[in-house]
Structure 1
Amino acid sequence: MKNNILLIASLILISFTACTSFQFTSLQSNLLNLDSNYFLYQDDTLEVKYSFAGRNCPLQLTIYNKSDDPIFINWEQSAVIINGQSLPINPLNSIMSSRSQTSTYAIGNHYESSSSISNGVIEHSDRSGFVPPNASITINSYNLSSGFINTTLADSTQKVYEESALRTVTKHFFTKENSPLKINCFLTYNNNTRTQKNYIKSEFWCASVYKTNYQSYNNRGDQYFVSRSSVAGDILSTAAIVGVAIVAVKADLEYDDECCHER
């Protein structure tokens, strides 16, 4: 009975670890990269943070309005461009938080006021693009990449110790010119009168790639990962699961047989 339990545990372990590969891609940009947590754009009005942390390169934007007037992100005239293909930035949900005291502002001929609550968070799915004065809104968009990067055209390759992988890996490096993945984010925003349009173009590209069978996750805003399992791994995983079921039934029958003899 004890041997059967050990065999079940071993088969379960095999089923979850067999032949799964993870590829980690690090991005570079024309923007500031602050401690690998996010890329930063800022001007006199806006501060925009870009993060791609997680599985399949999820795009997250945090837009902070530094001014004393409201602004409006024009989502219809904003886009994310992946290797030349333009896609809309479609905010699925957002989190709004404020850093300021109560303020009054004008929209056309109407005056409205906005007040903030310290550490207050509001979740909504508003596509208006409205960002209050001295407040921020976080947009979670869709995943930008789910496939493995082709490393055959890498500019250089070398073995390095990667802290996120906790081991030495073969790392493939790319330049901006030969990068197999290029991401451009194009944002359009208006001031409170909605008359003056402003444009922000931010560029990102694949700088390095490495593959490992060890999954680690460090929530770096300049890095994302994808995964895949081989056909052999799928077969082995299925066989392991079937084996678990067979061994479990066999163990159950043996247990019942032991009980019958005891009676």
Structure 2
Amino acid sequence: MNIHNKQIKDAFDAKSLIKVIAGIDNTNIKNVIKIAKAADLSQATYIDIAANVKLVKILKKISQLPICISSINSIDIYNCILAGADIIEIGNYDFFYNKGIYLTAEQIISLVLEVKSFKANIDICVTIPYYISLFEQMQLAKKLYIIGVNILQTEGISKLHKLQSPGSCFDLINVKNTFLPSLLSTYMISKSVNIPVITASGSKNIISHIPSNYGASGIGVGSSLKNQMSIRDIVKYINQSYCYMMSSDLLMNDCHGVNYNLRAILRTSLIFKK
């Protein structure tokens, strides 16, 4: 599947993509700018923000990274495309789960078709909902592939609504780690379609090397960044994630020492190349 943005394509090809998630409901300009600045200084590939025109315009001026907006509102998506968004994501559903909103596969496909009519050559990422069965997830992935979606993302179980989520194939009472269901979905979906898959739920820096073994071409980090107090801390955390993703056994012990300036070092180091 063709990826339009070269920066993202190169990261997918190297299975080194890191998406930094600012939050679909985070419209705090100061906080989003802080995360964006850290992403720019780190090994992040792109930043995922709320579908807010003002945020898009600000980040397009201050960031060198591709800007992704997440929404299920077609009007917000259209306006953000006009504002310069590089990638569209139909996903990061947790915000909507909190409101009791669960999209059907048919609604997702309909929204994708509408978004594709806005701009033909824009990258579209779709999160496959956790609350449908694995078979339905694979079927949805195949349909999205057919209509031209070029990035997929998996998610784990929503902590707030895990007990009342309809139709999930998991034992929702006993699954406490959202990372594991996301890994399972990643594995099954990556076997079903030839589209890059991002594993985004519950990922921590020290386990960021695991998803690639299950078919992922990248990871998303978001909630784990909330515990990082400064730009420097965020940069360090993202770079540690990258280091673990790309390291051999020889380098695993060095990942905790990833520093603020590692970006330039990693780009020129042959040891990180496949």
- Relative contact order higher in (CA < 8 Å, ≥ 6 apart): 1
The answer to which structure has the higher helix fraction is 2
Larger radius of gyration: 1
TM-score > 0.5, shorter chain as reference: no
Task: Give the TM-score of the pair, scaled to structure 1.
Answer: 0.24
